[in-house]
Amino acid sequence: MRFLPAGPSALLVELSNQDEVLAFAEEVARRREGGWGSTISDVVPGARTVLLDGARRPAELAEEIAGWTFQPAQREQAVPVEVQVRYDGPDLADVAAHWGVSEREVGEIHASLSHRVAFCGFSPGFAYIDGLGERWKVPRRPTPRPQVPGGSVAVGGAYTGVYPRSSPGGWQLIGHTDLVLWDDARQPPALLGPGTPVRFTAR
Amino acid sequence: MQDGGRPGFAHLGVPRSGALDRAAAALANRLVGNPEGAAVLETTLDGVGLRLEGQAVVAVTGAKAAVRLDGRPAAWGMPVYVPGGSVLDVGRAELGARSYLAVDGGFDTPQVLGSRSTDVLSGFGPPPLTTGERLPIGWPCGPVPPVDFAPYRFPAPEILVPLHPGPRGDWMTPAAEEALFTRQFRVSPTSNRVALRLAGPPLERSQVEELPSEGLVWGSVQLVASGQILVFLADHPTTGGYPVVAVADRAAGPGCAQARPGDAVRFQRARPVSGQGPSRRR
């Protein structure tokens, strides 16, 4: 664990890998439920970091956290969210070529992998879903699209993403889903929060 | 429409949003007896005109602008008593960029995730106001303070931004760091509620690899690929993949919110806050 400054009222905790990030975020959530860290307004996981925003004395907080031990992330307990996908995206051919497989196999392979939300960012409800690993990583598109339709299922780097609404986007579009990912009235409003297991199935 | 924003949802990608000049919005609310976080109108460069159906107390703060009640000059920076049926007009910003208009009782538009703020990055919250739109107003909450004039510091010709260490200060070369703290930058016209974008000498990065996305705080000074820098404000994205080389002190908030395109900006090292220490390894 490394502690990096993030201004006078926040602390950025850097960890070794995605699993550690989720494990640490879970530990923070557990302690907050018990009343710890009442000034912290936001706990924001990233690819290798967790940001604690609202820390009054970041250096002291770092000292305290350095003494923590925490369990590995709880994988088994959470119920996976199933995302039904029609694998018919405009970049299917490009991804197939990169993977060295047929276009139809792209959907089969993608749906066969084990996916989990690593963190959210970029847009409300946009989840960076871990699961492609080194083997199935893809480059982002050289030029982002100014508009990607809401519901698009895309891959970029080692992540899968589902665009909750229309927005610019630079990832490879492999399909689309009708699943409603964001609902203001729902508690929590996002279906795909950090740590959520995801199962993609072909429709 | 802006209020105190919607903290607590950054882990789902939702910017905190809220009034860009928090001090001015809070002052406008206090001047009409509202809690500081009540919803206010935030105008950018242009003004706004309202017809109040019933009598009300309003106050205009932030950017200095001409205030008129039924065409006659009225006070800026003070409570203004408005008879029912009157038209209140806030003119173009003369000094600064963003004016705030508060009404006693606060604006009572629908909330999204507990806030009435409009976030221009994601489009959350109510859409920007259109002519003819009706805005509900809540019941007056508190007494209007008996003030003659609320002191307010106007933006200086050169906006000084104190900077605290950020997580990726080591991603600047020593020459870039030197330039950051000695050169003058200018506010770009592409600045908005998401970020103050600055034109100036390109700052060189010491690392060429990509940075895995990490959480961002208000005031983050991000060094993008072209060597340009920006200062993230209220509608900033919750994570980013470019290095944050420093973080602006909150005291710079009003200056950043009131910055107009072409304004000069200069950075200086902030005095360390107690409890804020160097990074350490485990």
Q: Are B17 and B124 in contact (CB under 8 A)?
A: yes
Rounded Cα distance between B260 and B251, Å, is 18
All structural domains of chain B with their residue ranges = 1-153, 158-269
pLDDT over 80 at A84, yes or no: yes
Q: What is the tens place of the pLDDT at every residue in B192-217?
A: 999 999 999 999 999 988 899 999 99
Contacting residues for A172 by C-beta, under 8 A, at least 6 apart: A89, A91, A94, A95, A138, A140, A141, A154, A155, A156
* Residue in B closest to A11 by C-alpha: B167
- Do residues A185 and A92 share a domain? yes
In this prediction, residue B276 carries a pLDDT of: 59
List the structure tokens of A182.
Answer: 């964001």
CB contact under 8 A, B167 and A4: yes
List the structure tokens of B29.
Answer: 């609310």
In this prediction, residue B275 carries a pLDDT of: 58
3-state secondary structure of A159: strand
Which candidate from A8, A188, A189 shows the least CB-CB separation from B164?
A8
CB contact under 8 A, A42 and B277: no
Q: Note whether residue A170 is domain-resident.
A: yes
pLDDT over 80 at B181, yes or no: yes
In this prediction, residue A185 carries a pLDDT of: 87
Interface test with B, best of A39, A120, A166 (most B CBs within 10 A): A120
Residues 182-201 of A with CB under 8 A from B: 184, 188-190, 193-194
Q: CB-side exposure of A192: number of CA atoms within 13 Å?
A: 31
Residues β-bridged to residue B112:
B115
Q: What is the tens place of the pLDDT at every residue in A109-140?
A: 999 999 999 999 988 999 999 999 999 999 99
Q: What is the tens place of the pLDDT at every residue in B56-69?
A: 999 999 999 999 99
pLDDT over 90 at B125, yes or no: no
Residue A178 lies in domain: 81-202
Cβ neighbours of A42 in B, within 8 Å: 7-11, 16, 215
- Do residues A36 and A125 share a domain? no
In this prediction, residue B142 carries a pLDDT of: 83
Q: Which of A1-5, A64-68, B140-144, B174-178 has the lowest mean pLDDT?
A: B140-144
pTM over 0.90: yes
- Do residues A43 and A19 share a domain? yes
Rounded Cα distance between A30 and A165, Å, is 32
Which candidate from A2, A8, A189 shows the least CB-CB separation from B12?
A189
The count of domains in chain A is 2
Q: Note whether residue A178 is domain-resident.
A: yes
- Do residues A62 and A85 share a domain? no
Interface test with B, best of A1, A4, A167 (most B CBs within 10 A): A4
Residues 26-55 of A with CB under 8 A from B: 41-51, 53-54
Buried b vs exposed e over B252-274: b needs ≥16 C-beta within 10 Å?
bbbbbbbbbeebebebeebeebe
- Do residues A57 and A91 share a domain? no
Chain B nearest-CA distance from A189, in A, is: 9
**Looking at this predicted complex, what is its ipTM?**
0.93
- Do residues A93 and A132 share a domain? yes
Interface test with A, best of B16, B17, B168, B214 (most A CBs within 10 A): B214
In this prediction, residue B281 carries a pLDDT of: 39
Q: Which amino acid is at B205?
A: R
- B5 sits in the region (left: phi over 0; alpha: psi -120 to 50; else beta) called left
Share of chain B above pLDDT 70, in %: 96
Among B11, B37, B21, which residue's Cα sits nearest to residue B233? B21
Cis peptide before A124 (omega within 30 of 0): no
Q: How confident is the model at residue B252 (pLDDT cuts 50, 70, 90)?
A: very high
Q: Flag whether residue A162 sits within 8 Å of chain B, measured between CB atoms.
A: no
CB contact under 8 A, B165 and A128: no
CB contact under 8 A, A193 and B12: yes
pLDDT over 80 at B279, yes or no: no
Which candidate from A47, A57, A189 shows the least CB-CB separation from B214?
A47
Q: What is the tens place of the pLDDT at every residue in B65-82?
A: 999 999 999 999 999 999
CATH of the domain at A34: 3.30.1360.40
Chain B nearest-CA distance from A104, in A, is: 31
Cβ neighbours of B122 in A, within 8 Å: 123-124
Cβ neighbours of B244 in A, within 8 Å: 6
Averaged pLDDT for residues B45-61: 95
| The last residue of a domain, from among A66, A98, A113 | A66
Provide the mean pLDDT of chain B.
93
Cβ neighbours of B7 in A, within 8 Å: 41-42, 54
Give the position of tokens 């009640």.
B69
- Do residues A37 and A110 share a domain? no
DSSP per position, B195-220? EEEEESSPPPBS--SPPPPEE--TTE
In this prediction, residue B139 carries a pLDDT of: 94
Averaged pLDDT for residues B13-25: 97
* Residue in B closest to A158 by C-alpha: B212
Q: Note whether residue A75 is domain-resident.
A: no
Number of CB atoms found within 10 A of residue A70's CB: 16
List the structure tokens of A186.
Answer: 């729902």
Which candidate from B112, B217, B239 shows the least CB-CB separation from A53?
B217
List the structure tokens of B243.
Answer: 């290095």
List the structure tokens of A87.
Answer: 């694998």
- Do residues A150 and A178 share a domain? yes
3-state secondary structure of B178: helix
CATH of B158-269, one of 2.40.100.10, 3.30.60.50, 1.10.287.3240, 3.40.50.300: 2.40.100.10
- Do residues A85 and A62 share a domain? no
Q: Note whether residue A73 is domain-resident.
A: no
Contacting residues for B276 by C-beta, under 8 A, at least 6 apart: A5, A8, A57, A58, A59, B164
Buried b vs exposed e over B83-92: b needs ≥16 C-beta within 10 Å?
eeebebbbbe
- Do residues A48 and A92 share a domain? no
Q: Note whether residue A76 is domain-resident.
A: no
State the Cα angle at B128 between B122 and B130, rounded to 5°: 155
CATH of the domain at A196: 2.40.100.10
pLDDT over 60 at B278, yes or no: no
* Residue in A closest to B169 by C-alpha: A5
Rounded Cα distance between A138 and A95, Å, is 7
Helix axes A92-99, A103-112, angle to 10 degrees: 80
Chain A nearest-CA distance from B228, in A, is: 20
Rounded Cα distance between A53 and B138, Å, is 32
Q: Are B276 and A57 in contact (CB under 8 A)?
A: yes
Q: Note whether residue A71 is domain-resident.
A: no
Give the CA dihedral A51, A54, A58, A63, nearest 10 degrees: -70
* Residue in A closest to B277 by C-alpha: A59
- Do residues A98 and A129 share a domain? yes
Cβ neighbours of A59 in B, within 8 Å: 275-278
pLDDT over 50 at B39, yes or no: yes
3-state secondary structure of A108: helix
List the structure tokens of B135.
Answer: 């805005």
More confident residue, B66 or B145: B66
Chain B nearest-CA distance from A112, in A, is: 26
Q: What is the tens place of the pLDDT at every residue in A36-46?
A: 999 999 999 99
Cα–Cα distances (Å) from A14 to A1, A11, A75, A141, A194, in that order, read 6, 10, 21, 28, 16
- What is the count of residue pairs from A and B with beta carbons less than 8 Å apart? 153
